[in-house]
């Protein structure tokens, strides 16, 4: 494995600097001190937040375990009015909830989706939370026609979202509370035991190395987001986000590659790029050819296939700087 590192912090740079010198490196970065509008610190005031948001129902994750586990399903889905969510998520977690879904000490996580279920558009802050959108400004990280979605995220203290990747470049603007980010390069994919876009290694701090031995070879990069910090998450970089406090964030995605490469029916920005998805589908037919061989020869030709992919598709492994 390479030496674990920190996500570099860039202070008071311009959006033009981001486009010319940070984004092309395909490496994560924390951008500190960029202007993001009056949301910082305005949204830290719960009453302000409630005054500037509709109180409609939102779909949420409810969990009694701070570390959500998509495999063991230690959470469930529920619906709360938005203001109730804000009150419950921002309370002292030791304070018991009356009328909980599961447990008086349950925790919440919102990843906003379009409030209009008939809409085929991706989620946009200015459509569902227009007053918040007025108080939020994103530096010009990308041409406006490349915009994909802007997602509001609300977390109870401690809530951790499992390690996963997105197929779009995105910036995670932390507005309220602090958050810990742990990231891995796309080249660590084989060390993360993927299940689709998610890593099966849920406990990243005390991993089960008997079950996931290669995880020890993965190289984590860690950083802390303060209110107002912007985390650049390059497409395909694995990220694991843990709220230290009650958290509110806006996560903005854009299509950084040729637009024809993206799946048009992808509201969340995590469906595989079309060439990748097609390759994976086609591979199933390749492997079907080997079904008629005895197990040892299927293994043998499986290794031959792997050797050819390593030779033709993989970059030389080197440690990220």
Residues forming contacts to a second copy in the complex (CB under 8 A) are 26, 186-187, 189-190, 194, 235-236, 257-258, 261, 272-273, 275-276, 278-280, 282-283, 285-287, 289-310, 312-315
Q: Rank residues 66 and 290 by Cβ distance to a second copy and give the closer one.
A: 290
Rounded-to-integer distance, Cα 215 and Cα 191, Å: 5
- Residue 149 tokens read as 């979605």
Q: Rank residues 158 and 276 by Cβ distance to a second copy and give the closer one.
A: 276
Q: Rank residues 96 and 287 by Cβ distance to a second copy and give the closer one.
A: 287
CB of 182 to a second copy, least distance (A): 19
Dihedral in degrees, nearest 10, Cα atoms 181, 182, 187, 193: -120
Rounded-to-integer distance, Cα 131 and Cα 175, Å: 15
CB of 303 to a second copy, least distance (A): 4
CB of 236 to a second copy, least distance (A): 5
Q: Rank residues 70 and 224 by Cβ distance to a second copy and give the closer one.
A: 70
CB of 188 to a second copy, least distance (A): 9
Could you tell me the end-to-end alpha-carbon distance of the chain, in angstroms, rounded to an integer? Answer: 13
CB of 141 to a second copy, least distance (A): 18
Q: Rank residues 11 and 291 by Cβ distance to a second copy and give the closer one.
A: 291
Paired with 181 in beta bridges are 223, 241
Tell me how long the chain is. Answer: 321
Q: Rank residues 210 and 315 by Cβ distance to a second copy and give the closer one.
A: 315
Q: List Cβ neighbours of 227 (8 Å cut-off, separation of 6 or more).
A: 40, 41, 44, 174, 175, 176, 177, 178
Q: Rank residues 96 and 216 by Cβ distance to a second copy and give the closer one.
A: 216
Dihedral in degrees, nearest 10, Cα atoms 49, 55, 56, 60: 50
Please give the backbone phi and psi of residue 10, each rounded to the nearest 5 degrees, phi first: -110, 125
CB of 290 to a second copy, least distance (A): 6
CB of 83 to a second copy, least distance (A): 41
- The angle formed by the CA atoms of residues 275, 300 and 274, to the nearest 5 degrees, is 5
Rounded-to-integer distance, Cα 27 and Cα 178, Å: 21
């Amino acid at each position: 494995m390479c030496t674990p590192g920190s996500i570099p912090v860039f202070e008071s740079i311009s959006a033009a600097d981001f486009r010319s010198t940070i984004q092309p490196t395909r490496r994560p970065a924390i951008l500190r001190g960029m202007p993001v509008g009056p949301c910082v610190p305005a949204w830290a005031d719960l009453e302000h937040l409630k005054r500037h948001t509709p109180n409609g129902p939102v779909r949420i994750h409810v969990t009694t375990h701070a570390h959500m586990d998509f495999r063991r399903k230690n959470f469930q889905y529920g619906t709360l009015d938005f203001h109730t969510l804000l009150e419950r998520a921002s309370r002292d977690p030791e304070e018991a909830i009356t009328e909980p879904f599961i447990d008086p000490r349950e925790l919440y996580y919102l990843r906003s989706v379009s409030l209009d279920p008939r809409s085929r558009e991706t989620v946009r802050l200015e459509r569902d939370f227009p007053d918040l959108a007025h108080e939020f400004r994103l530096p010009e990280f990308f041409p406006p026609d490349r915009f994909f979605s802007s997602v509001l995220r609300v977390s109870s203290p401690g809530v951790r979202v499992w390690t996963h990747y997105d197929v779009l470049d995105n910036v995670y603007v932390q507005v309220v509370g602090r958050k810990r980010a742990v990231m891995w390069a796309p080249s660590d994919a084989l060390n993360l035991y993927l299940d689709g876009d998610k890593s099966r290694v849920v406990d990243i701090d005390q991993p089960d190395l008997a079950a996931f031995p290669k995880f020890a070879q993965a190289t984590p990069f860690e950083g802390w987001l303060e209110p107002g910090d912007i985390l650049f998450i390059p497409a395909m970089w694995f990220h694991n986000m843990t709220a230290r406090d009650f958290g509110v964030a806006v996560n903005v995605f854009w299509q950084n590659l040729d637009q024809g490469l993206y799946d048009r029916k992808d509201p969340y920005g995590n469906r595989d790029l079309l060439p990748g998805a097609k390759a994976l589908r086609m591979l199933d037919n390749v492997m079907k050819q080997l079904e008629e061989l005895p197990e040892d020869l299927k293994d043998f030709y499986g290794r031959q296939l792997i050797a050819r992919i390593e030779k033709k598709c993989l970059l030389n492994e080197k440690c990220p700087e």
